[in-house]
Amino acid sequence: MVEALTINSNDSDLNMACIEVERKALPEFKHGLKDPSGRLSSWVGAVCCKWRGVDCNNQTGNVVKVDLRQHDFLPLGGEISDSLLDLKHLTYLDLSLNDFQGIPIPNFLGSFERWNDSSSSWKFITVTLS
């Protein structure tokens, strides 16, 4: 079992800058979303590991988790951008309980090389589109 050390997006002591290509991919992903509550308003600046819903590996700074499950906000909607493919170390994506109005799960989500590794323990991925 592979255990990833993650930096929680709520860790106030974290000042590790993100990997540049990943820091650019996340706002591109955000751009395709409808965010009526402004939930993703923290997605600015160089320290994407502190952005709401984003967790990083504490040794490499790579984004390993994007958790945008709808909780206490209005649901997200819009399009799911293929910029997520630039998150090469992403092992968890949760978009559940949002309102993507029945769009099909994008084919590119099957392109994540790490998601096809059956020996990894990170396989719990929730992509539920309403």
Closest CA to 30 of 15, 18, 16, 48: 48
Other Cβ atoms closer than 10 A to 5: 10
- Give the angle 70-8-129 at the CA atoms, nearest 5°: 25
* pLDDT at residue 23, rounded to an integer: 94
pLDDT band at 116 (very low <50, low <70, confident <90, very high): low
d(CA 83, CA 21): 10
Percent of the chain, pLDDT > 90?
Answer: 35
Q: What is the pLDDT of residues 67-105, one digit of tens each?
A: 998 878 889 999 888 999 999 888 888 888 888 887 777
d(CA 70, CA 76): 7
